Amino acid sequence: MKLKDKVAVVTGGGSGIGRAICQSFVREGAAVVVVDQNAQGAENVKEELVNAGGKASTFVGDVQRPETNRDMVAHAVKTFGGLDILVNNAAAVLQRQVVDMKDDEWDHMIKVDLYGPFYGSREAARQMIKQGRGGRILTTSSLLAVQTRGLQAAYSAAKSGVIGFARSLAIEVAPHGITVNCVLPGHIRTPLTEPMFTPPIKKAFEDRIPVGKLGEPEWIANVFTFLASDESRYITGEAIIVDGGYTINGELPGVQFGPTSQEV
Ligand SMILES: NC(=O)c1ccc[n+]([C@@H]2O[C@H](COP(=O)([O-])OP(=O)(O)OC[C@H]3O[C@@H](n4cnc5c(N)ncnc54)[C@H](O)[C@@H]3O)[C@@H](O)[C@H]2O)c1
């Protein structure tokens, strides 16, 4: 068991990638606080974890509020005796042209997707430093931090922002045995994205992704579990892309550059 007796807080734990992270952490022996603004989603996941023999609790709140982040850490300490792992995973999405973007839409995106991880990481770091037994601070960034599309300016700005934030924080807390890393999922099948994957769109992605498939939440959760464990002790300030090769694929279908080996 890679996370035996560890205590984890996972935001956005009530669905999709967050849910898979909670399940993986519990399988590896951690006690988990499932944080979500959707109370029913959090409760459902908690029941799944408890029915599987794990230790779990819920905390309902909106991560854009500093109080949510402060109180979720306090809840973990009160319920399970401390905090070893934070996963900042909850996020908002918005598809909007910059020229049409309203101030409050921009504010909302940055508050949930950038302020949220800042508040959460700050509270977790304070608690972990106080405990003096190290820790792991992890954030779900996105492929769209490094390779984006139109309509994603606010989301891409925030998801890039968490990477710079994590790198600087990693240096500050390294002397305390705390590592700070980001995971950048590619195109993953979750309740958020599933409606988007109509058959032609799914086929277009499968053609474009070198490993030939959309991702499953469990494949992202596996990477979080490694980063949350002692096995990753020498990795900090990293942004790890998990996308089946989507971002490295610069091939143009049907186009071959330069002479072939037979012609040389
Ligand atoms: N699914 C993908 O393809 C993909 C790709 C790259 C990155 N991501 C990132 O992965 C993370 C999880 O996405 P998902 O696809 O599992 O989505 P999801 O919608 O299935 O789950 C997100 C959960 O977060 C909760 N949440 C949203 N805003 C919140 C807030 N302000 N406070 C508290 N809880 C909140 C939702 O209620 C939901 O339960 C997000 O950070 C997302 O940006 C997803």
Is the residue at 62 inside a domain?
yes
Whether 196 has a pLDDT exceeding 70, the answer reads yes
Exposed / middle / buried, residue 122 (Cβ in 10 Å: 0-12, 13-18, 19+):
middle
CATH of the domain at 115: 3.40.50.720
Would you say the CB of residue 19 lies under 6 angstroms from ligand 1? no
Ligand 1: nearest atom to the Cα of 90: 24
Is the residue at 253 inside a domain?
no
CB 34 within 8 A of CB 42: yes
Would you say the CB of residue 121 lies under 6 angstroms from ligand 1? no
Is the residue at 261 inside a domain?
no
Is the residue at 126 inside a domain?
yes
Determine the distance separating the centroid of ligand 1 and the alpha carbon of 92, expressed in angstroms.
Answer: 7
Hey, which residues are catalytic here?
155
Is the residue at 75 inside a domain?
yes
Would you say the CB of residue 90 lies under 6 angstroms from ligand 1? yes
Q: What is the pLDDT of residues 202-218, one digit of tens each?
A: 999 999 999 999 999 99
**Residues near 40 by beta carbon (within 8 Å), at least 6 away in sequence:** 14
Q: Which domain holds residue 100?
A: 7-242
Stretch 136-152: mean pLDDT, rounded?
98
Whether 264 has a pLDDT exceeding 60, the answer reads no
CB 47 within 8 A of CB 23: no
The C-alpha atoms of residue 247 and residue 226 are separated, in whole angstroms, by 22
Atom 7 (ligand 1): residue with closest C-alpha? 142
Ligand 1: nearest atom to the Cα of 193: 1
Determine the distance separating the centroid of ligand 1 and the alpha carbon of 16, expressed in angstroms.
Answer: 7
Strands (E) across the chain are located at 7-11, 31-36, 55-60, 85-88, 135-140, 178-185, 239-242
Q: What is the pLDDT of residues 216-239, one digit of tens each?
A: 999 999 999 999 999 999 999 999
Domain count, the chain: 1
Q: What is the pLDDT of residues 93-133, one digit of tens each?
A: 999 999 999 999 999 999 999 999 999 999 999 999 999 99
Is the residue at 263 inside a domain?
no
